[in-house]
Structure 1
Amino acid sequence: MRLLRARNRRRARGLPASRSTHAVYFLLMHAYGMGGTIRTVHNLAGYLARDHEVTLYSLIRTREEPFFPFPEDITVTPLDDRTEAGRPRGLLGLVSAVLSRIPSVLVHGDDRAYKISSLWTDVQLFRAIRSLRSGVLITTRPALNLIALTLAPPGVITVGQEHMNLGVHKPGLRKAIKRNYGRLDALAVLTDRDRSSYEPLLRSAPTRLVRIPNAVPRLAGGTAQYDSKVVVAAGRLTNQKGFDLLVRAWAQVKPAYPDWTLRIYGSGPWREKLQRMISEHALGENVHLMGRTNHMGEELAKGSIYALSSRFEGFAMVVIEAMSKALPMVAFDCPTGPADVIVAGENGALIKPGDIEGFAAALMEFMDDESKRRRCGMNAQETARTYDLDVVGTQWNELFADLAVPRS
C-alpha cells in the first residue's frame, strides 16, 4: 500500500490543474440486492446519467436480475459474478475457486462486506479501481471508502458516502475511519448530526465534508386520504428496525382502537420472532407482516400514519417516501435521521428512544384526530419536496464542480 501511495504521488505531479468529472463511478457491495442504500444509489446514478457517463460497479452479484431495476443509460459491471451464467470457466474459474476460499486482505474485517469478500474480490477490486484514469469514484460503505482512498489513481476524485452514523461502526472500523478518511477528496453524509460527528475528525484535513441527503424519486400511487384505519411501517425485519418495540406498542393500542391495523412491509431474519410476538400478544387480527413489495408507493398511500420504530438509522429513506405520500410520522428519536426531518407537532411526533408507552400514546393521538393527521400529513409532504431527486442531484453536481478544481 505504501508503494501504491508513492506511485500515486509521482503520477500526481503530471496532472492538469483541474480534474475531469465527466465520468462517474459508483461502487456498491451488492447492486443487485435490496435495501435503502442500493435504492438511493440507483436513483442518483440515473439522475447523474443525464450529464455524465455513469458506471455502477457491484462488488458481488448473486442473482440474475436486480431487485430494483437499473436506471437507463448507465453501465453495470459486477466484479465478482457468482451467478451460474456469470461464473468464470476454465482456468480462470479454477483460479477464482481457489482465491475465493482465501479471506480478503483489502476489506476491513469489521465491515459487514468482509463476510462476503475474498482474495478473488480483492483482485477484481484492484483491477477495476486501478484501471481508472479520471472521473469521480463514489464509494458507499466504510470498507469501500478505505479501499478507494488507497487504490484510486491521483487523477480520480474520491468521494466516500456514509449511509450509517459513526457510532454504530465497530471500534476497529471507527479507528480506521478516524485515521484515514482525511485522505478522501470528499465525504458525503446524510444528516446534520452525522456532519457534526465527522467534523472533529476532518478539521485539519483537506477533505470536503458535505451533507447531502438521500433523494426520493416520485413514487407511483396517490397520497394518503386519512380515512383508512391503517398504520404502515417498512424495513428489514432485523434488530435495527425495532419492529419488536412496535408490536409491544401496538399491544397497548389495540384495546382502545381494535378496528385499526398495522401493516409491516419487509423481510428478514426476525420474521419468525415477530410472528411469535404477534401471537403472544393476541394481535393476529390487527398486526400483519406483509412481506416484500415492489409497490411501496401504492401501499404507503393506503395508510393514514407511518411508524418508524428503529433503534438506529443512517437516513431512513422510507420516512421521506412516506412523507411524500402525505403521511404524518410517529418515530423514535434514534440516531440519526428522524430529527433532521420530523418536527414534533408540525409533521409528526418524535418519541424518546425505547419509550414504548410514549410511542403508543402518540399513535393513539393521531388515530383519535383525523384533522391532525391531515394537517401534519400535508406538512410532511412539503418537507419531502426538499428531498426531490432534482434538488439533491443538483447538490451532487455542485460538489463535482467544486472538486474539479484542487484546493491550493
Structure 2
Amino acid sequence: MRIRYMLLHAYGMGGTIRTVVNQANAMAALGHEVEIVSVVRRREEPQFRLHPEVMLTTLVDQRSGVQADSLGRRVWRRLRGKIVPYGEFAAGYFTERVEKAVIDYVTSVDEGVLITTRPALNLISVRRASKNVVRVAQEHMNLGTYPGPLREELIRHYGGFDAVAVLTASDQREYEQALPGTRIVRIPNAVHSVNQAPSRQENPIVVAAGRLVKQKGFDLLLPAFAQVVKEHPEWRLRVFGTGPKKAALRALIGEHGLSAHVTLMGRTNRLDEELARASIYALSSRFEGLPMVMIEAMTHALPIVAFDCPTGPRDVLTDGTDGVLVPSGDVDAFAAALNRLIADRDLRLRMGAAAVATSGEYAPANVMPLWENLFTELLRTKTGSGAQARR
C-alpha cells in the first residue's frame, strides 16, 4: 500500500519525529511504498536513520534561513493562514506560505493512506484532503493539554477522519467522549528496540532528557536534585537536550550551587549508551503524551521517578513496581523518591527488572502490526476491496 507520513520538521530531534520515523521504517521493511513529507527543512541531514526505501520530501526548504514572515507572534497574526489556529503549539511555523504548501500537497494526494502527526497538519488534512484518501490523524498529546480555541477546532473537525490514533487508554477515553461516533484507536508508540544493554546500577548518575522547554519541568527537577546532593553528594544529574530554556536552566544550576553536580549535555546520538551507564531516569514533565524516552530508559532496566502528570507516566508505570510516581509538581516528593532509590541499590535492581518487562509492550514487533492492520482495514473499507491494500 502507499503510505504517506507528514511531519512538521522531519529533520529535527523530537520524540514525535523519532517515533514516526520508526513507523515509516517498519512499514517500508514490510514492503509498503512509504514517503515522509517534511513541511519545513532547516538541517542538511535527518537526525534519525531512514530505511533505504523511505522517500523523504520537503515542502518548504528553510536551510538558507528562516523567512522573516515565519517568526514572531505579531507577524504570524498578520500573515497567518486560514486553517491553523494560533493556539497550536507550533503555530509560529504556519505562515500563509507554509500553510499553502501543506494545503497544496494534501489536495494533490488522491490515493493510499495519509497520516498527519500534529493538530495543525490534522486540521489541514481533514478539511482539504480528498475523501478518496484514507486520512488518519495521530495525536501525540492529550486533548486537555490544548488551549480552548484549538480544542474546539479539533472537536469540530476530527469527526471527518477515518481514524484518530491516540497513545494511551486515558487519551482514548477522553477523545471518545469528545468525539462520539468517531473511530478512536489506541496504538502506543514503539521504542526502536527492546534488546538493550541493561544498567548495572554501578554509576551514581541520574539521567533526564527532552527539549529544554517549560513542559519538561527541568526547572522543577533542579531544585529537587539540590535536595538530593545534600544527602548524596557523589551523585550526578545529566540532562540531555537543547531548547530555549538553556540559559535559564544554567542560571538555576548556579543559583542552587549545582555546577559540580548537574550537566546540561546538549544533543546526543548516543543516548542508549548514556542510559545504560545511568542508574535512575527522572521524568519531571508538567504534561506528556506518551513519554518515549522514559520507556526507552526502561528498556535499559532503569527505574523511573516521575511526576504523575497528565497524561502518560501513569499509563505506563505501576507505582512502586517499575518506578515511583509522585504528585505532579511536588518538588519535595520528587527529591524524596530519588533519595529513596539512591539509598537502595537492590530496590533499583528490582524495579529495573520490572521496567524491562513493562517496556516489552512497546516493542516494534507488538506495535507495528497494529498500524499495518489498521491501514489495511481502512483501505478495504474505503475502496470496497483489498486491492489497494495489497499494492
8 Å CA contact 1:25, 1:56 repeated in 2:
yes
* CA displacement, residues 314-357 of structure 1 (integer Å, 9 cap, x when unaligned): 11110110001110000000011000111111101000001111
Instruction: Look up the match of 1:129.
Output: 106
Partner of 2:8 in structure 1?
29
Q: Unpaired runs of 5+ in structure 2?
A: 68-77, 385-391
CA distance in 1, matches of 2:227, 2:131: 58
What's the CA shift string for 1:169-221, capped at 9, x where partnerless? 11111011111111111000011111111111222x2x320111111012796
The separation in 1 between residues aligned to 2:278 and 2:37, in whole angstroms, is 36
Q: Work out which of the residue numbers 130, 141, 153 in structure 2 matches 1:164.
A: 141
Give how far 1:51 is off. 2.8
Residues of 2 paired with 1:111 and 1:232: CA distance? 30
* Shift, 1:390, TM fit: 1.8
Native 8 Å contact 2:194 2:363 kept in 1: no
2:36 paired residue number: 56
Distance 1:376 1:71 in 2: 34
Aligned 8 A contact 1:220 1:297 in 2: no
Is the contact between residue 40 and residue 215 of structure 1 (CA under 8 Å) also seen in structure 2? yes
- Residue 45 of structure 2 is matched in structure 1 by 65
- The answer to whether structure 1 residue 41 and structure 2 residue 20 are counterparts is yes
Conserved in 2, the CA contact under 8 Å of 1:219 and 1:297? no
Match of 1:149 among 116, 122, 126: 126
335, 358, 365: which one aligns with 2:333: 358
Q: 2:170 aligns with which of 193, 205, 221?
A: 193
In the aligned structure 1, how far is the partner of 2:60 from the partner of 2:152? 28
For structure 1, which segment, 278-287 or 365-374, has the greater mean C-alpha deviation from structure 2 after superposition?
278-287
Match of 1:105 in 2: 82
Look up the SS of the partner of 1:215 in the other structure: coil
CA deviation string 1:131-187 (max 9, x = no partner): 222111100011111111111112100100111111121111101111111111100
- C-alpha separation in 1, matches of 2:290 and 2:184: 17
| 1:88-103 equivalences in 2 (<5 Å) | 102-103=79-80
Which letter maps to 1:338? P
Q: Give, in whole Å, the separation in 1 of the partners of 2:285 and 2:322.
A: 18
For residue 70 of structure 2, what is the aligned residue in structure 1? none
Alignment partners' CA distance in 1, 2:284 and 2:79: 39
Q: Does 1:310 align with 2:285?
A: yes
The number of equivalent residue pairs is 372
Q: Secondary structure at the match of 1:67?
A: coil
Structure 1 distance, partners of 2:90, 2:262, is 33
Where do 1:264-283 residues align within 5 Å? 264-283=239-258
TM-score, L = length of structure 2:
0.91
Any idea what SS the aligned residue of 2:214 has? coil
Q: Secondary structure at the match of 1:54?
A: strand
Kept after mapping to 1: 8 A contact 2:304/2:324: yes
Whether the aligned pair in 2 keeps the contact of 1:107 and 1:113 (CA below 8 Å) is: no
Kindly provide the amino acid, as one letter, of the partner of residue 226 in structure 2: A
In the alignment, what sits opposite 1:326? 301
Aligned counterparts, 1:198-277, within 5 A: 198-203=175-180, 205=181, 207-218=182-193, 222-277=197-252
Would you say the 8 A contact 1:104–1:114 is kept in 2? no
State the alpha-carbon separation in 2 of the partners of residues 279 and 335 from structure 1.
Answer: 30
Cross-structure match for 1:83: 63
Q: State the secondary structure of the residue aligned to 1:406.
A: helix
Once residues 230 and 318 of structure 2 are traced to their aligned partners in structure 1, the CA distance between those partners, rounded to angstroms, is: 29
Aligned partner of 2:26: which letter? Answer: Y
**Does the Cα contact within 8 Å between 1:214 and 1:392 map onto a contact in 2?**
yes
- Alignment match, 1:301: 276
- Matching residue's letter, 1:152: A
Structure 2 partner of 1:381: 356
- Pair member with larger Rg: 1
